[in-house]
Amino acid sequence: MLSSLPALLGSRLASEAMNIPACVRLKARSDNQAAAAIIGCQPYQVPRLASVGLLFYLNPESRFAVKYCSTVALLRLTADPKWQLNATTFLNGGDVRQFNCPGSVQAKKRPRGLARDDVKPDAPAGTGQWMVEAMLASMAFDHTTGTFLPANVDDAAVANVLGFRKHDLPPLRKAGTLKCLNAESRRARKLHSREYILGLVSNESWLAEATIVINQHWAEKNARKSRGAAAI
């Protein structure tokens, strides 16, 4: 859950987060390259970790789409020393199953697009939670203007925080997955509550649902284009 935003922004943590360059700020979703930077491995190794259940993709069954992880879940997972040992041993050619890793290859397959609520990594609260709160504090600060995000944020800010593209947001709103404050104003610039958007950052189930909705939207649109081109 999102900590109290005023308390978070008034802490020393927030002051430190404001000094993080915009180019290294994290987003709610991490692709293989971003996940590798968090883990400390190579991007091609991230799918290998996912293949044995050492991390979970938000859209594991989207065959041809870019795969994403929940950044918050990844930060908390990688703060666990047991996970670090499992991952390092596996990437060095060891057998991960001997460590009884949560969500390993012997675990039951999870429903598509749902978070693994049954897996509770016993990561130290300090490190993992500090990294998550630093990430949220950095997201609440607009490095381009040097001010905090306003109470109502537009599509550009939403896309930057959640890790989607701006043109992904209208399909999400149309599907009812993403809520905005002025949905009834058809021609107006769409605005979203800052607290609502920052709350979605740590909502793995919502991120999985939104990722799958977007993958299906563009797959269907590309399929219609292909059928139209073939008919010409």
Q: 141 has which bridge partners? A: 148
Contact 127, 77 (CB under 8 A): no
Q: What is the spatial distance between Cα 41 and Cα 57, in angstroms, rounded to a whole number?
A: 17
Residue 209 corresponds to which tokens in the numbers above?
Answer: 């649902």
Cα distance between residue 193 and residue 184, in whole Å: 15
For residue 123, the one-letter residue type is A
Rg from Cα positions in the chain: 19
Other Cβ atoms closer than 10 A to 44: 9
**C-alpha to C-alpha distance for 136 and 28, rounded to whole angstroms:** 9
| C-alpha span between 208 and 29 (Å, rounded) | 9
Q: What is the dihedral of CA 11, 181, 143, 214, to 10 degrees?
A: 110
Considering the entire predicted model, what is its pTM? 0.78
Residue-by-residue pLDDT tens, the chain, 232 positions = 444 454 544 455 555 555 655 545 789 999 999 999 999 999 999 999 999 999 999 999 888 899 999 999 999 999 999 999 999 999 998 876 544 444 433 333 444 444 444 444 444 456 888 888 888 888 888 777 778 889 999 999 999 999 999 999 999 999 999 999 988 888 889 999 999 999 999 999 999 999 999 999 998 888 887 766 655 5
In 3D space, the residue among 5, 6, 25, 62 whose CA is nearest the CA of residue 139 turns out to be 25
81-100 burial, b for 16+ CB within 10 Å, e for fewer? eebeebbeebbeeeebeebe
Phi then psi dihedrals of residue 190, to 5 deg: -75, 135
Residue 111: which residues within 8 A CB-CB, separation 6 or more? none
